[in-house]
Amino acid sequence: MKITFLGAAGEVTGSQHLIETDTLRLLLDCGFFQGRRVESYAKNSQFKCDPGKLDGVILSHAHIDHAGNLPGLFRAGFRKPIFSTAATADVAAIMLADSAKIQTEDARYMAKRLKGSHPPVEPLYDQKHVDGVVKLFEPLDYHEWHELSPMLRVRLSDAGHILGSAIVEMDIEDKGSRKRVVFTGDLGRRGMPLLRNPQPVPGCDVLISECTYGSRVHPPPGDLKSALLRIVTETSIRGGRVIIPAFSLGRTQQIVYFLNEFYEAGVMPEIPVYVDSPLSTRITSVYSRHQEVLNMNAQKLMSLDDDLFEFPYLTYIRSNRESASLNYRKGPFVVIAASGMCENGRVRHHLKHAVADDRNTVLIVGYQAQNTLGRKIVERQERVRIFDRDYPLRAQVEVVNGLSAHADVEDLKWWYEQMASQTGIGQAFLVHGERDSAEALASVLNDYCDEDVIIPDLYESYEV
Ligand SMILES: [Zn+2]
């Protein structure tokens, strides 16, 4: 059996690994490379395998760096099944449609800017390729072995990373012998709101593991739930607004879930709450449809409340006009809007109208990269620039960290230990992490493996 690392090798984007035997060609994930525009475009526009000759794709989860190039694969001739959990299939359909829209808009913008001085930038795919590829999804239940062909059986276990995320176990028949290959996808953390813990799986011959935070220990999760209740209560007493920049997939639903819990417990101030992002709204409806895969706490709450993402003061905003009308709304309210780092999306409009008033609060709940508007707010700079204008930052700024969706080195070690105690690990490969992260984790993982851990380079192949 040969494994070729076609992405997320020595970096964190473009997850894509090809498994080949004499009779099987299987792609694990088909993610987008992200980063510098020209370089990523070149990598995304050419597949290093022949899409028409693949027997199928197994998708670990719906993040765009794992699923984003599936419509590109379709465009290049792929017509075979894509196996994933049902929740992943539903979230992916939304994420891919959004990606097609962004690319079409970007291409239009670039064409205007370049004004014929360069050849036009083509989107990598459009909505018709998305429509084509979503028809290829074949959802698989968690926890059961599925015989996909005489040469392949697959089991998906909960990875605890985002809704529907899976660890992929594969039994692959090759030249008369059967090998167990495990792909972590992205592993989540233990004890996170809404999601179940990453599930331990038995040992394997070959492990392909992510290593995003292979050299880091996350700070203990800040108590978002109690901070959220305190901030919403205090700000509503001041008559101010709470602005929460949040990514559409994951964080937005965690916050809505907590607010709904406050409502059910009778402690939520009676003020309006708005989710102002069409993408968040669409994804939240998938969470509502797949509440069966949420954790025990969520299941318990569901016995009292049939929809964890709906309560009477909550409105999901769709149109731009409705969104803009909030800027002139009087009285206290809460708005959750994308993007999470305040660089794009509707949240910038809300910040523009909120930062100068000290009754308001900006609640930051995720990592803010350097040079982003979010980081400037976290640093409590005196003035912040939004849409080419400076505004004084007088609003309260609250930061609750430690909600990363990725396992840290302690979580990974815990997971490897469980695996090693159940029949051990033969050969391991570390992907989806930068070099220093991979090297640090290799020294940990080596203790659990029969052979030295390998950190593959991009496009490198290994016989296993
Ligand atoms: Zn992910």
Going by C-alpha positions, the residue among 13, 4, 67 that lies closest to residue 432 is 13
Do residues 299 and 327 both lie within one domain?
A: yes
219 pLDDT more than 80: no
Kindly report the CATH number assigned to the domain that includes residue 262: 3.40.50.10890
98 pLDDT more than 90: yes
- pLDDT for res 52: 97
Is pTM beyond 0.95 here?
A: no
pLDDT grade, residue 23 (50/70/90)? very high
Do residues 159 and 141 both lie within one domain?
A: yes
Q: Please give the distance, rounded to the nearest whole angstrom, from the Cα atom of residue 62 to the centre of ligand 1.
A: 7
Backbone angles phi, psi at 248, to 5 degrees: -70, -30
Q: Please give the distance, rounded to the nearest whole angstrom, from the Cα atom of residue 8 to the centre of ligand 1.
A: 12
Kindly report the CATH number assigned to the domain that includes residue 194: 3.60.15.10
The number of distinct structural domains making up the chain is: 2
* Amino acid (1-letter code) at residue 392: P
CA–CA gap between residue 406 and residue 161 (Å, rounded): 6
Q: What percent of the chain has pLDDT over 70?
A: 99
Q: Please give the distance, rounded to the nearest whole angstrom, from the Cα atom of residue 66 to the centre of ligand 1.
A: 7
Do residues 271 and 131 both lie within one domain?
A: no
Q: Please give the distance, rounded to the nearest whole angstrom, from the Cα atom of residue 336 to the centre of ligand 1.
A: 21
- pLDDT for res 368: 85
Q: Please give the distance, rounded to the nearest whole angstrom, from the Cα atom of residue 124 to the centre of ligand 1.
A: 21
- pLDDT for res 369: 81
User: How does pLDDT run across 390-405, given as a tens digit for each residue?
Assistant: 999 999 999 987 778 8
Q: Please give the distance, rounded to the nearest whole angstrom, from the Cα atom of residue 427 to the centre of ligand 1.
A: 23
Give the residue from 366, 399, 432 where a domain finishes. Answer: 399
Q: Please give the distance, rounded to the nearest whole angstrom, from the Cα atom of residue 188 to the centre of ligand 1.
A: 9
User: How does pLDDT run across 291-317, given as a tens digit for each residue?
Assistant: 889 999 999 988 888 899 999 999 999
Do residues 154 and 284 both lie within one domain?
A: no
Do residues 453 and 347 both lie within one domain?
A: no
Do residues 310 and 356 both lie within one domain?
A: yes
Spell out where 75-212 has E strands: 82-84, 137-139, 145-149, 152-158, 166-174, 177-183, 204-210
Q: Please give the distance, rounded to the nearest whole angstrom, from the Cα atom of residue 64 to the centre of ligand 1.
A: 8
246 pLDDT more than 80: yes
Do residues 157 and 271 both lie within one domain?
A: no
173 pLDDT more than 80: yes
Q: Please give the distance, rounded to the nearest whole angstrom, from the Cα atom of residue 53 to the centre of ligand 1.
A: 27
Strand partners, 429: 208, 454
* Structural domain harbouring 262: 224-399
User: How does pLDDT run across 32-46, given as a tens digit for each residue?
Assistant: 998 888 888 999 999
215 pLDDT more than 80: yes
120 pLDDT more than 80: no
91 token code pair: 């979230």
